[in-house]
């Protein structure tokens, strides 16, 4: 948002917080122009640029044995009850450990159950931070599924402002040639050609195309087929005056 406000101060940027399950529908229905969402997304209607893969962690009470470790595996959780909320974003059919009697409706509800000592919860790290409590902590789970985060927007709504947002998220500079189309650069003034090395073409002659170059030195070629420098030829056949032999005529004798 800081970079957006610096580059486009006249265009307000409004943030909308939605659940992972709702994000795709909000984009499809036009409720947001672009979103940071989790895979999978409906690629038939939404474009998506991969951004990063989140670390998966287990949320536990601070006095739990897991809190003493730097990281754990799913096997280390085999004897614990693992909560599996209905809005789970990791996509596994059944978490490791022992199942709870019923599934919590939301991740927020599951966090409350962890605090009550009912079980543990495995989630992406950002969700553990979002629902942080002073009496809970979390540790990375090395072999659990991970969640991929993408930048997504409706495929048929790639506007200039969406391109600007994509560029900011991907770290492009304001002068990057990618993203929004930059205005065409003004043509540079041509340097004056060296003496005798370039000829002007008539305004109506486009046979050489729109991007002609004048060169000096070396072969000395310029315009059409004429050559200058080196051999000394210039335009046409390069001959000038009389017969072009370079000899003076012999005086005629009077009779």
* Secondary structure (DSSP) of 89-126: SS--SS-SSEEPSS--SSHHHHHHHHHTTS-EEEEEHH
Tracing tokens 């997304």 back to the chain, one arrives at: 41
Give the count of alpha carbons within 13 A of 242, CB side only.
Answer: 7
Residues 74, 109, 130, 63, CA torsion sign? negative
* Cα end-to-end span (Å), the chain: 105
The pLDDT score that the predictor gives to residue 16 is: 93
- pLDDT range class, residue 19, cuts 50, 70, 90: confident
CB-CB neighbours of 192 under 10 Å: 9
What's the CA gap between 127 and 5, in Å, rounded?
A: 27
Phi-psi region of 245 (alpha: psi -120 to 50; beta: other; left: phi over 0): alpha
Q: Where are the beta strands (DSSP E) in 134-214?
A: 136-140, 147-154
φ, ψ dihedrals at 232, nearest 5°? 85, 5
What's the CA gap between 114 and 139, in Å, rounded?
A: 14
Q: Considering only 94-98, 112-116, 119-123, 132-136, which range has the smallest mean pLDDT? A: 94-98
- pLDDT range class, residue 12, cuts 50, 70, 90: very high
Query: Fold identical between 2-53+148-169 and 56-145?
Result: yes
φ, ψ dihedrals at 169, nearest 5°? -65, -35
Residue in 44, 20, 51 with CA at minimum distance from that of residue 154: 44
Residue in 63, 187, 171 with CA at minimum distance from that of residue 114: 63
- pLDDT range class, residue 93, cuts 50, 70, 90: confident
| β-pairing verdict for 81-83 and 120-124 | parallel
Average pLDDT over residues 187-214: 45
Helix (H, G, I), strand (E, B) or coil at 64: coil
Read off the pLDDT of residues 35-68 as tens digits, 9 standing for 90 and up.
999 998 899 999 999 999 999 999 999 999 999 9
Cβ 46 vs Cβ 178: under 8 Å: no
Return the CATH number of the domain spanning residue range 56-145: 3.40.190.10
pTM assigned to the model: 0.64
Contact partners, residue 38, CB within 8 Å, separation at least 6: 20, 23, 89, 124, 147, 148, 149, 150
The pLDDT score that the predictor gives to residue 52 is: 93
CATH class of domain segment(s) 2-53+148-169? alpha beta
* Residue 202 predicted with pLDDT over 70: no
* Higher local confidence (pLDDT), 136 or 18: 136
Percent helix, strand, coil in the chain, to 5, is: 20, 20, 65
The pLDDT score that the predictor gives to residue 21 is: 83
Residue in 24, 35, 38 with CA at minimum distance from that of residue 148: 38
* Residue 180 predicted with pLDDT over 90: no
**Per-domain boundaries in the chain:** 2-53+148-169, 56-145
The pLDDT score that the predictor gives to residue 253 is: 53
- pLDDT range class, residue 187, cuts 50, 70, 90: low
* Residue 188 predicted with pLDDT over 60: no
What's the CA gap between 124 and 37, in Å, rounded?
A: 13
């Amino acid at each position: 948002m800081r970079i957006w406000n610096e580059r486009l101060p006249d265009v307000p940027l409004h943030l909308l917080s939605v659940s992972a399950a709702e994000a795709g529908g909000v984009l499809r229905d036009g409720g947001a122009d672009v979103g940071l969402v989790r895979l999978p997304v409906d690629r038939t209607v939404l474009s998506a640029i991969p951004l990063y893969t989140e670390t998966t962690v287990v949320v536990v009470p601070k006095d739990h044995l897991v809190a003493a470790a730097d990281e754990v595996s799913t096997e280390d959780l085999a004897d614990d009850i693992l909560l599996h909320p209905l809005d789970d974003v990791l996509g596994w059919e059944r978490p490791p450990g022992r199942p709870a009697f019923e599934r919590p409706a939301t991740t927020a509800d599951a966090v409350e159950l962890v605090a009550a000592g009912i079980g543990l919860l495995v989630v992406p790290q950002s969700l553990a931070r979002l629902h942080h409590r002073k009496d809970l902590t979390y540790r990375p789970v090395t072999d659990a599924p991970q969640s991929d985060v993408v930048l997504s927007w409706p495929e048929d709504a790639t506007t200039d402002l969406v391109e600007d947002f994509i560029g900011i998220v991907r770290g492009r500079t304001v002068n990057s040639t990618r993203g929004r189309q930059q205005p065409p650069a003004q043509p540079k003034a041509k340097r004056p050609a060296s003496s005798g090395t370039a000829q002007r073409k008539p305004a109506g002659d486009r046979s050489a195309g729109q991007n002609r170059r004048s060169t000096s030195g070396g072969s000395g070629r310029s315009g059409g087929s004429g050559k200058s420098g080196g051999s000394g030829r210039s335009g046409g056949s390069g001959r000038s005056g009389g017969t072009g032999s370079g000899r003076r005529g012999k005086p005629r004798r009077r009779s």
